[in-house]
Amino acid sequence: MLLTQVGTRGCIRAVSTALRHSPRVVSRDCRITVACSGKHTMAAKTVLIVYAHQSPTSFNSAAHKVAEEALKEQGCKVLVSDLYAMDFQASATRKDISGDLKEPENFKYGDEAMAAWQEGRLSKDITEEQHKVEEAELIIFQFPLYWFSVPAIMKGWMDRVLSQGFAFSLQYMYDNGIFKDKKAVLSITTGAMESMFFSDGISGDINVTLWPLQNGVLHFCGFQVLQPQIFWSIAHTPPNIRTVLLDAWRARLKGIWEEKPLSFASCALFDLSFQGGFRLTSEAKEKLNVAPYGITTGQHMGKPLPPNNQTKSENEAAKKISDILT
């Protein structure tokens, strides 16, 4: 069966969906992991920690080790991708693809990577990470905030591992995304104090900072995005307070499987056609006219941003929008 797909830059192409159900792909989906137990018996759980920090003595290292220990104590299988230790390649290049190119005269990384994924021609370092993603039911991204985003090595992981076909397509994105049954959470350290990221702070609203990562990467691929774990101004935090913060992170992980995800706009609210421009339907706009603020940080409709949209999974703004739409 052929489905039309669109890349991140809007180019349209047709691709067979048969490979998503091929033995190569299905065999990955059938991995057995050890049981993960919390307050009650749960199904098998596997967690992937994608970690990016250069120093094993850093707070980021301590946070990832606390997560690994806490989840193993629950009985989870924990996979760790220590990107700097792995010397993970950050640049998406021709070297990621073995064999002949589809268009050698005009190299398009997205198209060629998708074809290579379908045909099993992606480089070993990419496919190994993709296997981990397929196996994991929760992915924790542990990193220091670099220039209001992830470090380059983690951005490279996202660029190369979350490739088209494997992680997203036009038919499978956002709340209908390929990874809609998986959870993801950002665990971040900052150099700045929290107030600098208030809506009136010098760095601007943290909800705006988080939107490209949480909506544009994770939710785009279908992940249920849990509220971020933010460790503010760690460089200026004394050791005793750092211990308190790590204990709180450990405590949160005990109930992380029961957490509700952040609120995003459902695909059902949009006209998902090229003619409609993938914009909110007239019916949705009419209902939302009475809303005191936008649906999300991104779909604000020229109104005030909904408070805590990208930082709190349960908030009054999300409830009001939900009530208006139902």
Other Cβ atoms closer than 10 A to 27 = 10
pLDDT at 33: 38
Domains in the chain: boundaries = 31-262, 263-326
pLDDT of residue 321: 80
Residue 36 confidence (pLDDT): 60
Q: Torsion angle, CA of 82/84/87/91, rounded to 10 degrees?
A: 100
Listed as ranges, residues in the chain with pLDDT below 50 are: 1-35, 38-41
Place of tokens 């499978």: 172
- Integer CA distances (angstroms), 167 to 8, 54, 114, 291, in order: 12, 27, 10, 33
* DSSP H helical ranges for 255-290: 282-288
- pTM of the predicted model as reported, rounded to 2 decimal places: 0.86
Cα separation of 135 and 122, whole Å? Answer: 18
According to CATH, the topology of domain 31-262 is: Rossmann fold (3.40.50)
Quote the pLDDT of residue 314.
80
The pLDDT of residue 319 is 77
pLDDT at position 44: 75
pLDDT at 191: 96
Give the pLDDT of residue 42: 52
Tens of pLDDT, residues 78-96: 999 999 999 999 999 999 9
Measured in residues, the chain has a length of 326
